[in-house]
Amino acid sequence: MDVKTLCLGVLSRGDASGYEIRKEFEDGPLSHFSDAGFGSIYPALKRLQDEGLVAIAQHGTESRPDKKVYRITPAGRHVLYQALTRQPAPDKLRSDLMFMLFFGHLLPPRHLDRIIGDRIDEYRSLIAKMESSDDQHGTPGEKFVQGLGLALYRAAASYLEEHRHELIGAALLEPKVAE
């Protein structure tokens, strides 16, 4: 999905500032499968405003400057709906870990073992966090995606735990590029 559509999706859940939209991609429920940075969010919001797909309200207090809060318009909801009814593009997994593991046989075994162990710990932490945040007020889609995310993290952690010895064994046999 393009950033404009991602922003419309966030705004369909409620009014938000650019900062609050970014937080959805950093810490919120979208953080596990979508990404949008400040450098792309604000230009997208500007284009959405120019196209009449979002409206802006200024909110301020005496102690703070005005904050722009964005609201999806009916036209924006229609555009979001149209985007959601298209066939999704195939998933692409972009991962520094996967790249490193692809060349893992070139790494020192202790380093490789630490990388894998750290990622297992990270997955287990994410699983615990997701399991403890059993949001009874989430939409059926949010609950479904959380379940799918849990299944993926559990499978990835199990695979790394069960197969790490294979790659570490290969790394023991391979001459190292630099140690």
List, in order, residues 6 or more apart from 128 with CB less than 8 Å away: none
Query: Could you list the pLDDT tens digit for every one of the 179 residues in the chain?
Result: 899 999 999 999 999 999 999 998 888 878 777 878 778 999 999 999 999 999 998 776 667 777 899 999 999 999 999 999 999 989 888 889 999 999 998 899 999 999 999 999 999 999 998 888 766 668 899 889 889 989 999 999 999 999 999 999 988 887 656 55
Side chain identity at residue 78, one-letter code: H
Q: Closest Cα to residue 45, out of 79, 81, 71, 65?
A: 71
Task: Tell me the C-alpha distance between 163 and 113, whole Å.
Answer: 11
Specify the pLDDT at position 9. 94
In 3D, which of 122, 18, 133 has the Cα closest to residue 69? 18
Given this model, what pLDDT does residue 62 score?
A: 67
The DSSP bridge pattern shows strands 67-72 and 54-59 to be antiparallel
Q: Is there a contact between 178 and 148 (Cβ–Cβ < 8 Å)?
A: no
Helix (H/G/I), strand (E/B), else coil: 88: coil
CA distance 21 to 134: 22
Q: Which of 93, 120, 89, 116 is nearest to 170 (CA)?
A: 116
The pTM score is 0.77
